[in-house]
Amino acid sequence: GESVGLHLPTLSVQEGDNSIINCAYSNSASDYFIWYKQESGKGPQFIIDIRSNMDKRQGQRVTVLLNKTVKHLSLQIAATQPGDSAVYFCAENVSFKAAGNKLTFGGGTRVLVKP
Amino acid sequence: NAGVTQTPKFRVLKTGQSMTLLCAQDMNHEYMYWYRQDPGMGLRLIHYSVGEGTTAKGEVPDGYNVSRLKKQNFLLGLESAAPSQTSVYFCASSSRTSGRSVETQYFGPGTRLLVL
């Protein structure tokens, strides 16, 4: 079935370096994508989103890139900090036709920031 | 503005017991969702609601029931708990979408449930 998945389950990065988290999706009808950050013991927290009519969107220290040709999504974190250590999830959505704003989540990538 | 809150934070049940998880949001969101998260896996949608008095099944609805009697509350019930329902449960809410617009889901802090 349609799914969203991640290439790397764990990413170790040196503090100050840039991090890149990748995500593959298979539903070509998906038109909205979100990255969430989940710290230990907490709920997922919205980081940044992108719609399918865009290929890049920037936030504060984060950039999301969308390549619809190869159905690939990435999250780039600039100057990674210890507070960035968390599990990162990508999620996709197909604009609902009936009702509900349902997201399909990937399995998550753990980012470990080394001092 | 507390956002999305969940009670309880943690609960231990014996097989066959029942319980209700409560989710509340103060953002006047139309949509609410219940997910479960298991180790090494992403979130899976159990049930969702697009408005007061309406509910619908998600990806893994078996063994759960829900009710949305008030717009701000979404209850998840386990009638007869099983060890397979040991998980972390997250509630989320989002605004109503318009046309092809999609609104971000905001999550609560989670409820850890252990079924023995």
**Strongest mean pLDDT among A17-31, A33-47, B63-77, B99-113:** B63-77
What tens digit of pLDDT does each residue of B23-48 get? 999 999 999 999 999 877 789 999 99
Strand partners, A74: A22, A65
Decide if A89 contacts A36 (C-beta within 8 A).
Answer: yes
Query: Are B100 and A105 a contacting pair at CB < 8 A?
Result: no
Contacts of residue A50 in chain B, CB cutoff 8 Å?
Answer: none
Out of A95, A102, A107, the one facing B100 most closely (by C-beta) is A95
Q: Does A4 touch chain B (CB under 8 A)?
A: yes
Name which residue leads in pLDDT, A104 or B14.
Answer: B14
pLDDT at site A103:
83
pLDDT at site B10:
96
Average pLDDT value for chain B: 91
What is the C-alpha separation between A73 and B112, in angstroms, rounded?
Answer: 30
Amino acid at A100: G
Name which residue leads in pLDDT, A32 or A75.
Answer: A75
pLDDT at site B70:
95
| Mean pLDDT computed over A62-78 | 95
| Mean pLDDT computed over B46-71 | 94
Contacts of residue B44 in chain A, CB cutoff 8 Å?
Answer: 105
Binning pLDDT at 50, 70 and 90, where does residue A89 land?
Answer: very high
Binning pLDDT at 50, 70 and 90, where does residue B21 land?
Answer: very high
Contacts of residue B41 in chain A, CB cutoff 8 Å?
Answer: 107-108
Rounded alpha-carbon distances, angstroms, from residue A51 to A20, A38, A46, A55, A89: 19, 22, 15, 8, 16
Closest among A80, A107, A77 to A5, alpha carbons compared: A107
What tens digit of pLDDT does each residue of A8-51 get? 489 999 999 999 999 998 788 888 899 999 998 899 999 999 98
Contacts of residue B106 in chain A, CB cutoff 8 Å?
Answer: 46
Rounded alpha-carbon distances, angstroms, from residue A110 to A6, A36, B113: 11, 12, 23
What is the C-alpha separation between B58 and B55, in angstroms, rounded?
Answer: 10
| Mean pLDDT computed over B12-25 | 97
Handedness of CA B60, B18, B30, B106 (dihedral sign): negative
| Mean pLDDT computed over A91-102 | 67
What is the C-alpha separation between B84 and B75, in angstroms, rounded?
Answer: 20
Q: What are phi and psi of A27, to 5 degrees?
A: -90, 105
Angle at B103 between CA B75 and CA A48, to 5 degrees: 110
Binning pLDDT at 50, 70 and 90, where does residue A1 land?
Answer: very low
Query: Are A34 and B104 a contacting pair at CB < 8 A?
Result: yes
> A87-96, B46-55, B62-71: lowest mean pLDDT where?
A87-96
pLDDT at site B2:
77
- A97, pLDDT greater than 50: no
Query: Are A43 and B109 a contacting pair at CB < 8 A?
Result: yes
Percent with pLDDT over 70 in chain B: 93
What is the C-alpha separation between B43 and B40, in angstroms, rounded?
Answer: 10
Q: What are phi and psi of B68, to 5 degrees?
A: -130, 75
pLDDT at site A16:
96
Query: Are A46 and B43 a contacting pair at CB < 8 A?
Result: no
The nearest CA of chain B is from the CA of A45 a distance in Å of 7
What is the C-alpha separation between B54 and B47, in angstroms, rounded?
Answer: 11
B47: left (phi over 0), alpha (psi -120 to 50) or beta: beta
pLDDT at site B98:
58
